[in-house]
Amino acid sequence: MNPDRTIPSGLGAAGRNPEQAEPAVAGAGPASSPAWPDAAHTPLLLIAHAEGERTDGMKQARRALGLKAPIVVPYERLLAGVSLPDAAAEAGLPAGSVPFIRLDAPGEHFPVERALIALGSPERDDGDSLLPLRGRPDPYRLSLRASLALEERPMRLMHPSQWFRGFCRLLARIRAEAAAAWPQALFWNDPAEIAVMFDKRAAHRRLREAGVGVPALLAEPESLGGYEAVREAMAKRRMFRVFLKLAFGSGASGVIAYQVNPRTGAEIAATTLAVETYIQRPGIFYNTGSVRTLTDSESIRKLIGYLCGHGIHAERWIPKASLHGRALDLRQLVAFGAAGHSVIRAGETPITNLHLRSRRLSPAESGLPQETLEAARGEALAAMRTFPRSASAGIDVLTDRVSGRAYVADVNPFGDLLRRTQFEGLDPYAWENKRWLEAGAKQTDHAGNTGSAEHVEHVQHVQHVDPAVSRRTLHT
């Protein structure tokens, strides 16, 4: 074996490592998936930003497949108080139509971020029916007025737990208004399941209970009230290398790869998170855009305390398979029951997100054995099955370089923005729509109906898409 390449053989779902994998819970199997609507005749209602790479990508993919353009409802309209049915009508949804509703990522748009923080304010409390772990209070809650007065500060973490509270409130409202307006309508990804996927604590719990491979939990999140609690849990579990994650962060935001020397107590943290401290007001926490290594205990204490205050997920640090000293993990796109695009990320640090100077590799370039890749895809499919009312997600999978075991590290409901990668000659958005066409046709056949000639033609048409779709490039 090449000494620069640490690559274990893959283990299937039965190959559990009792030290690193959480136990399965009997009887926790998922429900069956819904009957997806006919893609050739059902309008796609896209709740997203009016403009941007994601929205444009979906429009171009559907045009290339001969499907009608999505009807785009901007998040800003809903957050301005316009109801979903009214916003859909404004956007061009024909009267009497029952749409298939897809929500895309609400991030990277400061007016929307500010409005969601405002929606999470105490004045807007509504019971928080979709908020996981809703019994835990947010720190330093901002009033409605203070939320609306926020100004954009690139890289700064404004108020992540209040933002997530507001996002869950919007998800609940969208679900309720859709049910009232279109009782038969389905979601691409169900709002309640989006809330669970987005919360790493809740997603880990669901996957663990279904027997999906996940890194062992350091402690239940409710017990981790601060830095001291994290250190005590590490000593009690003898788990001296952990990943600490902001429960609803994305793009490595609020992630700390943390380790403690059990003999000396010396600690080291790798993170993009930093803080400006003040005497008479809370500190300002922000992302630096690069991974830094910290050994100063007071700085580490503040960062861990921040994660604990807003919501922390803490799990065992799995030693990843590597290539020439670079840690490897995999983003696997799953849609409508199939595994498609795979991107291998090779990082110089334990945190492998591509915007942190990690390298993008194809599965073939990674050197990972086929059985390892198949095990990772299998675990990703198993993870997706735990969300039976949702069609797609980008699922991050890592392989233990010692045991060969595949572990699911994250389930991203908006994880299909994958640049410069193809599967079956299609970019991710085109492939997802092709999968929808095929899933709708299959369910029509199971119902004893061969489907319309137009639907069959659409399914066949995906084999001859516009070459521009094959040339388009997208990101993780």
Sign of torsion, CA 52 53 55 60? positive
> Structural domains in the chain?
5-14+321-471 (3.30.470.20), 44-198 (no CATH), 221-316 (no CATH)
In this structure, what token pair is assigned to residue 206? Answer: 């669901």
CA distance 394 to 54: 14
Strand, coil or helix: 448: coil
Strand partners, 345: 329, 360
Looking at residue 323, its pLDDT comes to: 83
Looking at residue 29, its pLDDT comes to: 39
Residue 139 in contact with residue 161, Cβ under 8 Å? yes
CA distance 386 to 210: 7
**Displacement of CA 68 from its chain's centroid (Å):** 27
Low-confidence ranges of the chain (pLDDT < 70): 1-32, 251-252, 278-282, 352-358, 443-476
List, in order, residues 6 or more apart from 358 with CB less than 8 Å away: 326, 345, 346, 347, 348, 352
Strands 241-246 and 255-260: antiparallel
Looking at residue 178, its pLDDT comes to: 98
CA distance 14 to 459: 36
Looking at residue 299, its pLDDT comes to: 92
Smallest Cα–Cα separation from 309: which of 217, 410, 221? Answer: 221
Looking at residue 470, its pLDDT comes to: 45
Strands in 267-276's sheet, in edge-to-edge order, are 284-294, 267-276, 255-260, 241-246, 312-316
Smallest Cα–Cα separation from 347: which of 259, 411, 255, 420? Answer: 255
Strand, coil or helix: 94: coil
Looking at residue 207, its pLDDT comes to: 98
Q: Which helix (DSSP H) or strand (DSSP E) does residue 364 occupy?
A: helix 363-366
Kindly report the number of other CB atoms within 10 A of residue 255's CB atom: 25
Region of 289 please: left (phi>0), alpha (psi -120 to 50) or beta.
left
CA distance 204 to 188: 22
3-state per-residue secondary structure call for 384-446: HHCCCCECEEEEEEEEECCCCEEEEEEEECCCCCCCCCCECCECHHHHHHHHHHHHHHHHHHH
Looking at residue 72, its pLDDT comes to: 98
Give the DSSP letter string of 302-341.
HHHHHHHHH-EEEEE---B-EETTEEEEEEEEEETTEEEE
For residues 148-164, one letter each, b for 16 or more C-beta atoms within 10 angstroms of the residue's C-beta and e for the rest, the string is: eebeeeeeebbbbbbbb
Sign of torsion, CA 119 122 126 127? positive
Strand partners, 411: 395
